[in-house]
Homo-oligomer: A and B are copies of this chain.
């Protein structure tokens, strides 16, 4: 498979594929001679993953490179490989601009701690705010509070329970894949691509419920 074929099969323009190669998002093909290279199915899969991360997940190119480096790092065990790859993903509401000490943020901190305790998520609890998802969650809750829409533990519990089920389901499907690299790729793809599914389901549900309550 040549560059042009890769472009053909993926629908990604030639110039863009060259750009990804230059940026190290796509490994170079197997060189045939001085001016030609051969690409295979793994390149196609990787290209689609990159497109998903950039187009769907709006992940900056530099971050994509970082995530993929973890996915490709065969020296890591699966746990760290997954952890590193997923921690490198950007987390919503990151541009926190760190007030760090306003009342909303401290309230959000205790709220999340309380939530984790009631969920029994010991592992997560120990790692605490080293986890970027933890920090982003605190920031999001603080923003909601600051806008005048506070939440409490009881509000969050059912959502957390559902997300727990979702995570278990995700890992179930991941485990059937043959190689650790493919498992890591699946974890990243799932993290990025399943989010819009969830969010759009929520919007549809809002429309439905609104229609039921207020007619048409």
Copies of this chain: 2
Which of A32-40, A62-70, A155-163 forms part of the interface with chain B?
A: A155-163
Does A137 sit at the interface, judged by CB under 8 A?
A: yes
**Which 10 A-B pairs give the minimum distances between C-beta atoms?**
A92-B196, A123-B211, A133-B203, A167-B205, A137-B200, A140-B196, A163-B205, A162-B162, A163-B202, A167-B206
Complex Cα gap A77–B49 (Å): 43
Can you offer 24 A-B residue contacts whose CB atoms are under 8 A?
Answer: A48-B146, A91-B199, A91-B200, A92-B195, A121-B205, A123-B216, A131-B204, A133-B200, A133-B203, A134-B200, A136-B196, A137-B197, A144-B197, A147-B189, A149-B193, A159-B198, A159-B201, A163-B202, A163-B204, A163-B205, A164-B205, A167-B205, A168-B209, A198-B198
Which chain B residue shows the least CB distance to A126? Answer: B211
Which chain B residue shows the least CB distance to A127? Answer: B207
Which residues of A93-151 have CB atoms within 8 Å of chain B's CB atoms?
93, 95, 97, 99, 116, 121, 123-124, 127, 131, 133-134, 136-137, 140-141, 143-144, 146-149, 151
Q: A82-B210, A136-B196 are in contact. List 12 more A-B contacts (CB 8 A).
A: A58-B58, A77-B214, A78-B214, A86-B207, A91-B200, A92-B200, A123-B208, A123-B211, A156-B197, A156-B201, A162-B162, A187-B206
Does A16 sit at the interface, judged by CB under 8 A?
A: no
Does A61 sit at the interface, judged by CB under 8 A?
A: no
Does A165 sit at the interface, judged by CB under 8 A?
A: yes
Residue pair B79, A211 in contact (C-beta under 8 Å): yes
Given A146-B48, A159-B162: A123 and B207 interface contact (C-beta under 8 Å): yes
Residue pair A165, B158 in contact (C-beta under 8 Å): yes
Contact residues in B for A199 (Cβ distance below 8 Å):
91-92, 195, 198-199
Which chain B residue shows the least CB distance to A149? Answer: B189
Contact residues in B for A19 (Cβ distance below 8 Å):
none
Which chain B residue shows the least CB distance to A214? Answer: B79
Q: How far is the CB of A135 from chain B (nearest CB, A)?
A: 9
Residue pair B207, A83 in contact (C-beta under 8 Å): yes
